[in-house]
Structure 1
Amino acid sequence: MQELTLGTLIAVFEEIFGTTLFWAMVVFGVLVAVAFIYILIRDRGISSSRLVRAELVAPVGAVGAVLFVQYMTSSGFSDIGGPIDVIVLVVIAVAGFLGLMILTYVIESLLHRRALK
């Protein structure tokens, strides 16, 4: 691979996850991001108590993301071959952590509208 382009990344992710699952994850991610922005505008800020509760759930997202990608790629921890593999694994874990944290914050904010603390 000579260049890393958006088209190349999309092709790789479609190969890993399958076209339907990949685009479903993209749409879901966009919907959660839009809902998060809506909540930030509606509440005029971030509620610290909701954020702390969301952060408590987030490690499950990090572990889940790593295990999900390893399942989809039919690989395991023994297949980690070098520093770039560790970096990719950490990026996947951070994405899962942040994704579940934001999703949890959105769900809690939509279900329980309270004054900001």
Structure 2
Amino acid sequence: MKDLTVNTMLAVFEEIFGRGLFWAMVIVAAVITLAYLYVLIRDRNVSWGKFLLAQLSMPIGAIAAVWFVLFMTHSKLGNIGGPVDVIVLLGIAVAGAVGFAVLVYTAQSLFRPNTEES
């Protein structure tokens, strides 16, 4: 692998997760993102109570993301070989935490909309 291109990264992700699961994850992420944008536009403000609960859920998302990647790659935390592996796992944890926080905020806003009028 000489060049790091988008096609190379897509091939690697499809190899790790399988073509169907990878594209299903991409579609789910796109739907959640669109729902989040819809909620932000609809409400025109951020509900700080919902935002706090979403932030408190971030460790769950971080742990779930790392666990999911370790499961899919048939790896263990003992297989971490160096600083690059730690950086990659931290990146996965951050992405999982942020993604789960967006999911929690969006779900709260869709299923418990603000009752007060601005």
- TM bracket (short chain): over 0.9
Q: Secondary structure at the match of 1:2?
A: coil
For normalisation by structure 1, the TM-score amounts to 0.96
Bigger CA drift: 24-33 or 42-51?
A: 42-51
SS of structure 2 residue aligned to 1:53: helix
Structure 2: give runs of 5+ residues left out of the alignment. Answer: none
- In structure 1, stretches of 5+ residues that fail to align are none
Which residue does the alignment assign to 1:97?
Answer: 97
Q: Whole-Å Cα distance in 2 between the matches of residues 3 and 25 of structure 1?
A: 25
After superposition, give the CA deviation of every residue in 1:45-83 in whole Å (9 maximum; x if it has no partner).
221111101111121110010011001001111111111
SS in 2 for 1:74: coil
* Counterpart code for 1:15: E
Instruction: Kindly report which structure 2 residues correspond to 1:41-52, keeping only aligned pairs within 5 A, or say none.
Output: 41-52=41-52
Specify whether residues 31 and 116 from structure 1 end up closer, same or farther in structure 2 by C-alpha distance, changes over 3 A only: farther
* Structure 1 moving runs of 4+ over 2 Å: none
2:61 equivalent to 1:61? yes
After TM superposition, the structure 1 = structure 2 runs for residues 1-117 of structure 1, keeping only pairs within 5 Å, are 1-114=1-114, 115=116
Aligned-residue identity in percent: 49
Cα RMSD between the aligned structures? Answer: 1.4
- Secondary structure of the corresponding residue to residue 4 of structure 2: coil
CA distance in 1, matches of 2:117, 2:31: 23
How many correspondences in the alignment?
117
Q: Is the 8 A contact 1:47 1:116 kept in 2?
A: no
